[in-house]
Chain A
Amino acid sequence: NAGVMQNPRHLVRRRGQEARLRCSPMKGHSHVYWYRQLPEEGLKFMVYLQKENIIDESGMPKERFSAEFPKEGPSILRIQQVVRGDSAAYFCASSPSRGKGGEAFFGQGTRLTVV
């Protein structure tokens, strides 16, 4: 059973470009969470999704950021018109329907660098 897969592992974008981060949850998991880790800081919650639904997006910046988890395919975190401050590690986690959010399994992250 493969773990949570994130790709790419490293992504470099110029200011103003778009960044698309992908997350394939573990098999059988229908809940996906996105977290952002800025340098020297802990992880900050961004968004919690179930298939085709955004459950909680209270941690998402109001502009330029969006997330989806379609019926088929991976969850996507999209950042439009990236700025240097978006440089961070973005982690995805997944969990089954039951259990706690803290029992989710984390991917290895996508490290976004904006130049």
Chain B
Amino acid sequence: AQSVTQLDSQVPVFEEAPVELRCNYSSSVSVYLFWYVQYPNQGLQLLLKYLSGSTLVKGINGFEAEFNKSQTSFHLRKPSVHISDTAEYFCAVESARQLTFGSGTQLTVLP
């Protein structure tokens, strides 16, 4: 069975500052990892994914994440955030085509 823990439920940050959203997972098998963004009253949009290969993955909107197998982490980072990045972010792990999501991190970018 898989589980995903997002350590911070709320992350406020000032515009143009860097941000890191933390995600830890547990799984007994090899995993595929994903980060999604959800804007208010919208569906989920895929930001980036780790399937195999390089542990540093780059996604849309300037986000990147690093897969760390020894620490079972997949933290999301952006060097400089914009007001438009304000949204809920979900980390997820997949097994047998079924996604297990974390409880989400609300990123609020302050002017």
Q: Do A and B come from one complex?
A: yes
Interface residues of A (CB under 8 A from B): 4, 31, 33, 35, 40-45, 48, 55-56, 58-59, 91, 93, 95, 100-103, 105-109, 111
Query: Is B97 within 8 A of A43, CB to CB?
Result: no
Give the CA-CA distance A103 to B34 in the complex, in Å: 9
The number of residues on chain B lying at the interface, defined by a beta carbon within 8 Å of a beta carbon of chain A, is 25
B67 contacts chain A at the CB level, 8 A cutoff = no
Partner of B99, one of A31, A101, A108: A101
Query: Is A100 within 8 A of B51, CB to CB?
Result: yes
Residues of A within 8 A of B90 (CB): 42-43
Partner of B42, one of A33, A41, A48, A108: A108
Query: Is B34 within 8 A of A102, CB to CB?
Result: yes
B46 contacts chain A at the CB level, 8 A cutoff = yes
Partner of A103, one of B4, B43, B46, B102: B46
Q: How far is the CB of A110 from chain B (nearest CB, A)?
A: 10
Q: Which residue of A lies closest to B94 (CB)?
A: A102
Give the CA-CA distance A41 to B41 in the complex, in Å: 14
* Known A42-B90, A100-B32; contact A109-B100, beta-carbon cutoff 8 A: no
* Known A91-B44, A102-B46; contact A48-B97, beta-carbon cutoff 8 A: yes
Partner of B44, one of A31, A40, A106: A106
Give the CA-CA distance A45 to B101 in the complex, in Å: 9
Beyond A44-B101, A103-B46, 10 extra complex contacts between A and B, CB < 8 Å: A33-B97, A42-B101, A43-B44, A58-B98, A100-B97, A102-B94, A102-B99, A105-B46, A109-B41, A109-B43
Query: Is B99 within 8 A of A45, CB to CB?
Result: yes
Residues of B within 8 A of A35 (CB): 99, 101
Partner of B43, one of A31, A41, A100, A108: A108
CB-based closest 7 A-B pairs: A101-B97, A42-B101, A106-B43, A102-B34, A102-B94, A106-B44, A108-B43
